[in-house]
Amino acid sequence: MTILEKEMIQQNEETFKLQDKVVIVTGGSRGIGATIVKELAKQGANVVINYNSSAEHAEALVEDIDRLGGKAIACKADVSNLEEAKQLVETTKNQFGRVDILINNAGITRDRTFRKLSEEEWHEVLNVNLNSVYHTTSAVINTMLEQKYGRIINISSIIGQAGGFGQTNYSTSKAGMIGFTKSLALETAKNGVTVNAICPGYIETEMSAAIPENILEQIVSKIPMKRLGKTSEIAEAVIFLASSDYITGQCINVNGGAYM
Ligand code: NDP
């Protein structure tokens, strides 16, 4: 084989960083999750797009990926429910035979100042954002440890680091994800399973579109880069962490300098 041929093979491997890897993206139907799904598929991965209520979005994404020659399925599961999360992992294994990468991305907000926050709003956010991480991770961890390969990437938030007005429930859930990430990383490192978190700043999605315009303007004025982040900028960090063998227990901030 000539040097040029070797380089071309190497380049091909580099072009498709996640060829044939099997990935679950929770909340992959919309927003940041949907962009992560597309980027994973571009990198050659087989993707399971989890959704709870946005079936149409998830199915449209499957069709898009199909058209581009990739492989994806949509799978309905409320990840705040342990049995449904287990079912999501079973469906993945039945369809693709294995599971290599788990992206815990599903999340909701129920913003209200603490005095007005109901018990239901507290538990709903903790269940969807944090307990879901326990549910999905506990369903994949034995497989990953046995195969001595796994990547778990938790989409936390700047709000879990800096706090947020009217966001005690959300902030607690996102800070919890960071502690979970570091502790699990310690336990799984020797078996080739890395666990990392990404802390997005304010990103252009439906979630941030729900913030009142005057408050959003104030937020943007305080971001050193003076703009919201793009979903593609979070997806880039996901691909980077998913492709790395030696980064674990880290929290990557993708926030335009808003929290350092
Ligand atoms: P969106 O509201 O745009 O999308 C949320 C996704 O989560 C949807 O796909 C939704 O699916 C899914 N989801 C919600 N509840 C459940 C559930 N019980 N089970 C399964 N899936 C569920 O949010 P973003 O894309 O903006 O946010 C994605 C992640 O990034 C979240 O964890 C969020 O906290 C985090 N983040 C976002 C920031 C931002 O500025 N947007 C900043 C920092 C962090 P469906 O529609 O089917 O219910």
CATH for 197: 3.40.50.720
Residue 194 has pLDDT above 80, yes or no: yes
Ligand 1 pocket residue status of 106, Cβ below 6 Å: yes
Answer yes or no: are the C-beta atoms of 99 and 140 closer than 8 Å: yes
Could you tell me which residues come within 8 angstroms of residue 259 by beta carbon, excluding any fewer than 6 positions away? 158, 161, 162, 199, 201, 253
Ligand 1 pocket residue status of 80, Cβ below 6 Å: yes
Burial class (CB in 10 A: 0-12, 13-18, 19+), 122: middle
Q: What is the mean pLDDT of residues 176-180?
A: 99
> Is residue 141 included in any domain, yes or no?
yes
Of residues 215 and 37, the one with the higher pLDDT is 37
- The separation between CA 150 and the C-alpha centre of its own chain, rounded to angstroms, equals 14
Q: What is the mean pLDDT of residues 55-59?
A: 98
Query: What is the model's pLDDT at position 86?
Result: 98
Average pLDDT, the chain: 95
> Is residue 259 included in any domain, yes or no?
no
> How many angstroms separate the CA atoms of 58 and 133, rounded?
20
> Is residue 27 included in any domain, yes or no?
yes
Residue 181 has pLDDT above 90, yes or no: yes
Q: What six digits make up the tokens of 26?
A: 């929770």
Structural domains in the chain (count) = 1
> How many angstroms separate the CA atoms of 3 and 250, rounded?
37
> Is residue 260 included in any domain, yes or no?
no
> Is residue 135 included in any domain, yes or no?
yes
Nearest CA to ligand 1 atom 3: 31
Query: What is the model's pLDDT at position 115?
Result: 98
Query: What is the model's pLDDT at position 79?
Result: 99
Residue 7 has pLDDT above 80, yes or no: no
> Is residue 10 included in any domain, yes or no?
no
Ligand 1 pocket residue status of 161, Cβ below 6 Å: no
Query: What is the model's pLDDT at position 211?
Result: 86
60-118 pLDDT, tens digit per residue, is 999 999 999 999 999 999 999 999 999 999 999 999 999 999 999 999 999 999 999 99
Ligand 1 pocket residue status of 200, Cβ below 6 Å: yes
> Is residue 54 included in any domain, yes or no?
yes
In the chain, DSSP assigns E strands to 22-25, 46-51, 71-76, 101-104, 150-155, 193-200, 251-254
Q: What is the mean pLDDT of residues 137-161?
A: 98
Q: What is the mean pLDDT of residues 231-246?
A: 98
Residue 40 has pLDDT above 90, yes or no: yes
Among residues 144, 19, 17, 148, the alpha carbon closest in space to that of 71 is found at 19
> How many angstroms separate the CA atoms of 80 and 88, rounded?
12
Assessment of whether the complete model's pTM goes beyond 0.85: yes
Residue 37 has pLDDT above 70, yes or no: yes
Among residues 137, 170, 177, 135, the alpha carbon closest in space to that of 156 is found at 177
Could you tell me which residues come within 8 angstroms of residue 231 by beta carbon, excluding any fewer than 6 positions away? 31, 32, 34, 35, 36, 203, 204, 205
Active-site residue, from 170, 202, 246, 259: 170
> Is residue 8 included in any domain, yes or no?
no
List residues forming the annotated binding site for NADP(+): 27-30, 105, 170-174, 203
Q: What is the mean pLDDT of residues 209-237?
A: 95
Residue 10 has pLDDT above 70, yes or no: no
Distance 70 CA to ligand 1 centre (A): 23
Query: What is the model's pLDDT at position 133?
Result: 99
Q: Is there a catalytic annotation at residue 259?
A: no
DSSP 201: -
Answer yes or no: are the C-beta atoms of 242 and 101 closer than 8 Å: yes
Give the structural domain span for 173. Answer: 19-253
Ligand 1 pocket residue status of 237, Cβ below 6 Å: no
Q: What is the mean pLDDT of residues 198-208?
A: 92
> How many angstroms separate the CA atoms of 127 and 134, rounded?
10
- Kindly indicate the confidence band of residue 8, based on its pLDDT and cuts at 50, 70 and 90: low
Query: What is the model's pLDDT at position 166?
Result: 97
Ligand 1 pocket test target in 111, 205, 232, 252 with most atoms within 8 Å of CB: 205
